[in-house]
């Protein structure tokens, strides 16, 4: 039966590619009304550094982002860093109220490693940090909103970076020690865990460039060391939960990857080959060790990096090997795949000269967008809704239909409540998600990024992703619902995508459905 399903999906997949090439991004859907099933979960997300603020109070120590922005304030577009952010540390009850207004099933947030362990190590546990997350979780559970906790969302303690950070293999142990503290404190209340958010960005942005802390610029070497260590850290924490907590608490543990869709610039052979190679470098290095039949890093990546390394005078490949024991540890080390999806890019070979060594030199491709795609406030973010469908089908066919959870998807705008573009983008991507489910994707839920406006890393608050607008100049960081918040609330309530629906009023009322008896939740 599965072989028949595979063949059907492959036919659908390639027909879709042909049709979208011929008809453009609006020619890929039909007009049938589809509906999300009752057990499909809807949520919203934030991350600790981006919204909490309170960067140096109640025992919290310095993270790599604190250090980076304090030493290089010029890199923040509008000069607003995360020192105060959206002040969720003090406004968490208001944030939960927003979630109640939307009527979501869950809230995905991250914990700050250095708020819980100021030294980075378990020798000192910050009880005020523990109490903050306890308060937040209790407030969520009070209204039947499931907490989905990310253990690590970019903000490494500076104390650990001073010891080498993710390039140091000891970070694998440090992360496991941190996770044990968190599991001991919250495993009885939290059923859904994400170990690491976007290791593909953590390693490439932080070590291949100077755009992210630690801004090491260890091109072609640091990123690969980081990839191995982060993935093994994830696997160790997964095994820790399975061995010591799962039988008692019945929770699920996954990992979230940046899974933007990549497709060839056109159907020329060199472009098809380029996109297949680039996928292996950006996705395969992270997905293959967990979900592929053979495990390990993709063979084509190992071959290319080994070849380039030899040409560059290295005595061995810059990509560290995975031992048989490490391959076994990684294989199957996730209950679900978290997909952070925002956009689509076109890939073609590049004849440019790249720094050597570097990942860019190993891959040798260039990215572009179609001229008809609408661009968000963020210049990298183009709307191509069919991309999320194609990404899901690609994962289905290559990795045998893993359980999938969309852990981030969003759109950036300027300041303003009438965010028509975000509302439109949400509707169109939801249509694509319904098609992906119809065509066999084992998709459990969707997470809007983000609940509120936040500090968007080096963009500061110049790019707004929130369903709720934050007035960063007000003392209490006032939150106000945008049009998109109303559209999302309506979608959650009706479970269908209504093309032209708009609210009669911009005022938001708290949904009453969270005061009903809790309904059984789907397992991830």
pLDDT interval class at 114 (50, 70, 90): very high
Task: Report, as an integer, the average pLDDT of 376-381.
Answer: 98
User: 508 vs 313, which has greater pLDDT?
Assistant: 313
Q: Which domains does the chain have, with CATH numbers?
A: 46-347+358-514 (3.20.20.80)
Listed in order, strand segments (DSSP E) in 2-40 are: none
Task: Report, as an integer, the average pLDDT of 19-45.
Answer: 72
pLDDT in tens, 127-176: 999 999 999 999 999 999 999 999 999 999 999 999 999 999 999 999 99
Give the tokens for residue 54.
Answer: 């309170």
Task: Tell whether the model's pLDDT for residue 182 goes beyond 80.
Answer: yes
Local structure of residue 475 (DSSP, 8 states) = T
pLDDT interval class at 13 (50, 70, 90): very low
Local structure of residue 73 (DSSP, 8 states) = G
Task: Report, as an integer, the average pLDDT of 338-343.
Answer: 98
Instruction: Give the phi and the psi of residue 466 in degrees, each rounded to 5.
Output: -75, 140
Looking at residue 17, what is its pLDDT? 47
Task: Tell whether the model's pLDDT for residue 7 goes beyond 80.
Answer: no
pLDDT interval class at 31 (50, 70, 90): confident
Instruction: Assess contact for 116 and 73: CB atoms under 8 A.
Output: no
Instruction: Give residue 95's Cα distance to chain centre.
Output: 20
User: CA dist 182 to 61, 150, 166, 177, 403, Å?
Assistant: 17, 11, 20, 9, 25
- pTM score, whole prediction: 0.93
Looking at residue 518, what is its pLDDT? 44
Looking at residue 24, what is its pLDDT? 41
Average pLDDT value over all residues in the chain: 93
Nearest to 169 by CA among 235, 233, 241: 233
pLDDT interval class at 18 (50, 70, 90): very low
The span from the CA of 27 to the CA of 157, in Å, is 47
Task: Report, as an integer, the average pLDDT of 108-126.
Answer: 98
- The C-alpha angle 176, 179, 183, rounded to 5 degrees, equals 135
Local structure of residue 281 (DSSP, 8 states) = I
Task: Report, as an integer, the average pLDDT of 115-130.
Answer: 98
Looking at residue 29, what is its pLDDT? 55
pLDDT in tens, 285-321: 999 999 999 999 999 999 999 999 999 999 999 999 9
pLDDT in tens, 208-251: 988 899 988 899 999 999 999 999 999 999 999 999 999 999 99
Instruction: Give the phi and the psi of residue 43 in degrees, each rounded to 5.
Output: -150, -175
pLDDT interval class at 26 (50, 70, 90): very low
Task: Tell whether the model's pLDDT for residue 350 goes beyond 50.
Answer: yes
Task: Tell whether the model's pLDDT for residue 522 goes beyond 80.
Answer: no
The span from the CA of 50 to the CA of 63, in Å, is 12
Q: State percent of the chain over pLDDT 70.
A: 92
User: CA dist 483 to 267, 385, 407, 419, Å?
Assistant: 39, 20, 22, 6
Task: Report, as an integer, the average pLDDT of 56-79.
Answer: 97
Task: Tell whether the model's pLDDT for residue 514 goes beyond 70.
Answer: no
Looking at residue 511, what is its pLDDT? 76
Task: Tell whether the model's pLDDT for residue 101 goes beyond 50.
Answer: yes
The span from the CA of 64 to the CA of 208, in Å, is 16
Task: Tell whether the model's pLDDT for residue 117 goes beyond 70.
Answer: yes
Min mean pLDDT across 304-313, 363-372, 497-506 is at 497-506
Where is 273: in which H helix or E strand? helix 269-279
What is the number of helices (H) and of strands (E) in the chain?
19, 15
User: CA dist 494 to 35, 103, 437, 489, Å?
Assistant: 8, 11, 17, 9
- The C-alpha angle 272, 226, 336, rounded to 5 degrees, equals 70
Where is 311: in which H helix or E strand? helix 299-311
Give the tokens for residue 187.
Answer: 């495993």
Looking at residue 30, what is its pLDDT? 65
Task: Report, as an integer, the average pLDDT of 258-272.
Answer: 98
Torsion on CA atoms 148, 154, 155, 157, rounded to nearest 10: 110
| 3-class secondary structure per residue, 282-308 | HHHHHHHHHHCCCCCCCHHHHHHHHHH
């Amino acid at each position: 039966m599965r072989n028949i399903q595979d063949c059907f999906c492959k036919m659908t997949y390639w027909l879709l590619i042909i049709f979208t090439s011929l008809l453009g991004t609006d020619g890929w859907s039909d007009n049938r009304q589809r509906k999300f099933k009752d057990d499909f979960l809807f949520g919203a997300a934030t991350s600790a550094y981006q919204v909490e603020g309170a960067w140096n109070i109640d025992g919290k120590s310095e993270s790599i982002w604190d250090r980076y922005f304090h030493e290089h304030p010029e890199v923040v577009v509008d000069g607003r860093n995360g020192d105060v952010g959206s002040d969720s540390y003090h406004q968490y009850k208001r944030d939960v109220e927003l979630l109640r207004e939307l009527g979501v099933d869950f809230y995905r947030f991250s914990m700050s490693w250095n708020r819980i362990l100021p030294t980075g190590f378990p020798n000192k546990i910050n009880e005020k940090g523990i109490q903050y997350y306890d308060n937040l979780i209790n407030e969520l559970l009070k209204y039947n909103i499931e907490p989905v906790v990310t253990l690590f969302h970019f903000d490494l303690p500076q104390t650990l970076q001073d010891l080498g950070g993710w390039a140091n293999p000891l970070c694998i142990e440090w992360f496991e020690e941190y996770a044990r503290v968190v599991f001991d404190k919250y495993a009885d209340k939290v059923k859904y865990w994400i170990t690491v958010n976007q290791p593909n960005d953590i390693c490439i942005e932080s070590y291949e460039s100077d755009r992210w802390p630690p801004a090491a610029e260890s091109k072609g070497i640091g990123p690969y060391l980081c990839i191995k260590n982060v993935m093994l850290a994830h696997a160790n924490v997964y095994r820790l939960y399975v061995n010591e907590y799962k039988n008692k608490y019945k929770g699920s543990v996954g990992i979230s990857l940046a899974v933007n869709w990549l497709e060839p610039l056109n159907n020329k052979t060199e472009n098809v080959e380029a996109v297949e190679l680039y996928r292996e470098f950006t996705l395969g290095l992270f997905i293959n060790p967990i979900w592929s039949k053979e495990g390990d890093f993709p063979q084509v990546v190992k071959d290319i990096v080994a070849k380039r390394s030899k040409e560059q005078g290295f005595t061995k490949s810059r990509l560290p090997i995975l031992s048989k024991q490490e391959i076994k540890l990684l294989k199957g080390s996730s209950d679900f795949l978290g997909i952070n999806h925002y956009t689509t890019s076109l890939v073609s070979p590049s004849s440019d000269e790249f720094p050597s060594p570097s990942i860019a030199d190993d891959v040798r491709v260039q990215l572009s967008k179609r001229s008809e795609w609408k661009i968000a406030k963020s210049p990298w973010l183009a709307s191509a809704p069919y991309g999320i469908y194609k990404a899901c089908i690609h994962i289905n066919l290559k990795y045998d239909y893993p359980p999938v959870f969309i852990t981030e998807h969003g759109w950036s705008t300027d300041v303003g409540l009438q965010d028509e573009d975000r509302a439109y983008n949400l509707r169109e991507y939801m249509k694509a998600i319904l098609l992906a489910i119809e065509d066999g994707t084992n998709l459990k839920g969707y997470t809007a990024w983000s609940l509120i406006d936040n500090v968007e890393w080096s963009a500061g608050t110049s790019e707004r992703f929130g369903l709720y607008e934050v007035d960063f100049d007000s003392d209490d960081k006032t939150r106000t619902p945008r049009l998109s918040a109303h559209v999302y609330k309506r979608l959650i309530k009706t479970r269908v995508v209504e093309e032209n629906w708009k609210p009669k009023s911009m005022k938001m009322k708290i949904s009453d459905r969270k005061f009903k008896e809790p309904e059984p939740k789907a397992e991830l």
